[in-house]
Amino acid sequence: MTTPKTNPGNFFEDFQLGQEIRHAVPRTVTEGDVALYIGLTGSRFAVHSADSFAQDIGLPAAPIDDMLAFHMVFGRTVADISLNAVANLGYAACRFGAPLYPGDSITAQSTVIGLKENSNRETGVVYVHSVGTNQADEVVLDYVRWVMVRKRDRAAPTPEPVVPQLPDKVEASAIEVPVDLDLTGYDAVLAGAPHLWDDFAPGEKIDHVDGMTLEESDHMTATRLYQNNAKVHFNQHTEREGRFGRRLIYGGHIISLARALSFNGLANAFRVAAINGGRHVNPSFAGDTIYAWSEVLEKTPLPDRRDVGALRLRTIATKDQPCAGFPGPDATGKYPESVVLDLDYTVLMKRQG
């Protein structure tokens, strides 16, 4: 007798409101992961690149790049949440907690907080609240995402739609500053730019100038690094029959490239503290060249800290279009096809004095 032992992944009709999922496969993050991430993204932020720089600002060692930490937590959730995804759609209420260091281990769990079938009855949107923790049960990442998932059976009944109310941003009072952080010894020359928190103003726009072409091998290696096994990124045999006829680039890889490109103009944004919201507005494919620009949305002092402040940024990434003209949505909110990412996030930056 043959019995199924494999996991086909959850389809839309398999999810239930309030469902709690403890995700399999914990992951210990290593220095090898850090080196490979730099090789795949070109990220240059000093605090993640050198133990000596991190120790000069009170940290025990160079922490894992915040976006690498995000992807490692995200990757735990894929087999249960988005194995049968059409596309990951967006993020909200994302707070970065305890920094991750090489040798730390992460686990994740999620709760289904919203479900909405699409009008074609072939897919639906699943909203999940996911939390990643380290080996000491400290929260590393706490966030909401929503993803479009295929239905197994178009005729299968689905529950009444529930779309959660999500905050527009993570409030300054909820932003976590690393406990040991002391920016007295911060070296802006080694960080790569003289411009500190005080030098930026709301409404200011920055063209990050540089571009990076997506290679098939790079995005697939990156996605495997995070153990994100969503079919839409790997299986050309099935995806050639899909909507685009080819594999999609994992949207998180675009976020990483946009963050890496933002070094040119925001080199002193040494920590991503929150993702307030974000949308993958158009797909990306191997061969596209990614550019990015950022706008300063808000500038916020932090309670009881005079050495560090928060900048709320909006970074837009494009494909095959340089950003000197700051491309974005029009007055109706419609994006040009060249825009692939619109990300609203908050960073920490040293203040003068």
Report pLDDT digits (tens) over 199-254.
Answer: 999 999 999 999 999 998 888 899 999 998 877 787 778 777 777 777 888 889 99
Instruction: Count Cα neighbours of 47 within 13 Å in the Cβ-side half-sphere.
Output: 30
Give the total number of structural domains in the chain: 1
Q: Which residues pair with 350 in a beta bridge?
A: 308
Q: Assess if residue 234 is contained within a domain.
A: yes
Q: Measured between alpha carbons, how far is 341 from 317 in angstroms, rounded to an integer? A: 5
Q: Assess if residue 313 is contained within a domain.
A: yes
Classify 36 as helix, strand or coil.
Answer: helix
pLDDT digits (tens, 9 = 90+) for 255-310: 999 999 999 999 999 999 999 998 999 999 999 999 999 999 999 999 889 999 99
Cα 3 to the chain's mean position, in Å? 38
Q: Assess if residue 168 is contained within a domain.
A: no
User: Domain range spanning residue 58?
Assistant: 12-151+174-350
Q: Assess if residue 54 is contained within a domain.
A: yes
The token duo for 303 is 């309670």
pLDDT digits (tens, 9 = 90+) for 30-55: 999 999 999 999 999 999 999 999 99
Beta-sheet pairing, 105-117 with 27-28 = antiparallel
- Tell me if 126 sits within 8 A of 85, measured CB to CB: no
Q: Measured between alpha carbons, how far is 139 from 51 in angstroms, rounded to an integer? A: 23
Q: What is the CATH number of the domain that holds 58?
A: 3.10.129.10
Provide the whole-model pTM.
0.93
Closest by Cα among 149, 86, 139, 84 to 114: 149
Closest by Cα among 349, 339, 353, 351 to 313: 349
Residue with more model confidence, 145 or 243: 145
Classify 327 as helix, strand or coil.
Answer: coil
Q: Which residues pair with 299 in a beta bridge?
A: 311
